[in-house]
Amino acid sequence: MLEEEFAYYRENQEKFAKENPDKFVVIQGKNVVGFYNSEKEAYDEMIKNNKLGTFLIQQCLPENHIYTQTFLSRAIF
């Protein structure tokens, strides 16, 4: 599900991040629907005329930022 959209995003990730830093891109198939200032704005606009699961919303970040998550813990190992 949404493999085509995510693959298209990955192919164009650096371009999107450079031209629209920190914005949220909406992709359907291999088409860019638009760029939005927030994920909520993109979502609200898309659900007006589209079913969930038919579009991808992805923040435009450079490759080295997009797949990293940091979790902080007070546990001592």
Range(s) of the domain holding residue 45: 3-62
68, part of any domain: no
Q: What would the pLDDT profile of 17-36 be if each residue is shown by its tens digit?
A: 999 999 999 999 999 999 99
CB neighbour list of residue 29: distance below 8 Å, 6 or more residues apart? 4, 5, 8
Give the count of domains, the chain: 1
Instruction: Name which of 1-5, 42-46, 55-59 the model is least confident about.
Output: 1-5
Strand partners, 35: 25
Q: So what's the pLDDT on residue 39? A: 95
50, part of any domain: yes
74, part of any domain: no
21, part of any domain: yes
Q: So what's the pLDDT on residue 53? A: 93
43, part of any domain: yes
pLDDT grade, residue 1 (50/70/90)? confident
Query: Looking at the predicted structure, is the pLDDT value of residue 66 above 70?
Result: no
Task: Quote the mean pLDDT of the chain.
Answer: 88
Compute the distance between CA of residue 75 and CA of residue 46 in angstroms, rounded to an integer: 41
